[in-house]
Amino acid sequence: MDLSYFDDPIHHGPANIKIGYAAITWGGNDTQAIEDIAALGYPGIQLRANVLKEFPDPLQLRDLLAKHHLEFVAFSSGDAPLDPAKRQTTIDTHVKNAQYLQQAGGKYLQVIAAWIQNQTVTPPVSTEDYKYEGQLLTEIGKRVADYGIQTGFHNHMGSMGQAPEGVDAILAASDPKYLKLELDTAHYAQGGGDPAAAIRKYSKRLLFLHLKDVKANTSKSGYEFTELGAGRVDFPAIFTALKAIDFRGWGIVELDGERPGDDRTPKQSAEISKTYLEQKVGVTV
């Protein structure tokens, strides 16, 4: 493949931010998710690996998305464990997912760094661990580039990329040509960072975003994800930062799951977040 595409800056021209929605909340019923997300007017969607069972033929998925005028923005492809014994299997899995993604008309492959139990309890992740992880994610990025797919590293609570320092270390240990950042605003804030500052800091490696909100609760973790505007993430500051770096690309609104007792459907939550973006932040979906 001609890799010159990956040498060029990701974004060109003035800011142009497109808003999609993630199907995770529908719990594997992706057909319904596609219908609901399209009905609300979101132009893009992120799907998870369970879509492989519902749509084993990627062309069938491509046609369904086209029917609903939805762009297949990203595919949640899993994690990248530190265990060297799992290295080749991990690479093969992500490559296979990238091939499916390409055939279904998709753009970006999402990969989460290796899971850890709790960075405040277990021994700190070593420099060598970060080096290994960065090299593994780079190799995944190289291999999926054969299909014209770019790889986004997703910062996530409970992973090596939980804290801002972890994000720094992984990006520093990886090749910027093959590994970009998929910044999750809620995970980054909960991990102790400022998402708006991260946008400016990583402007040259920012592939796309998860627009997600988070608030405190009384659970063991002490937090929960919520619809946009119901938590503590400063979205006006985030969009100001995106415009400042002339970001041209996708923000995927995501809610990891409906909370017991809220009595909302996934579609209703998606509508709440859309209304917040349009009426409070001034962003057109």
Average pLDDT per block of 10 residues along the chain, 285 residues long: 55 84 96 98 97 97 98 98 96 98 98 79 79 98 97 96 96 98 98 98 98 94 95 98 97 85 90 98 96
Centre a 10 Å sphere on the Cβ of residue 66 and count the other Cβ atoms it contains.
Answer: 12
Q: What is the CATH number of the domain that holds 130?
A: 3.20.20.150
pTM as predicted: 0.93
User: Which pLDDT value is given to residue 265?
Assistant: 95
For residue 168, give Cα distances in angstroms to 83, 164, 202, 237, 276.
Answer: 21, 6, 9, 21, 31
Give the residue numbers spanning the domain of 155: 4-281
Size of the chain, expressed as the number of residues it contains? 285
Q: CB of 166 within 8 A of CB of 123?
A: no
In which element (H, E) is residue 206 found?
Answer: strand 206-211
Angle (nearest 5°) at CA 175 between 200 and 235: 25
The string of DSSP codes covering 229-258 is: TSSS--HHHHHHHHHHTT-EEEEEE--S-P
* Domains held by the chain: number: 1
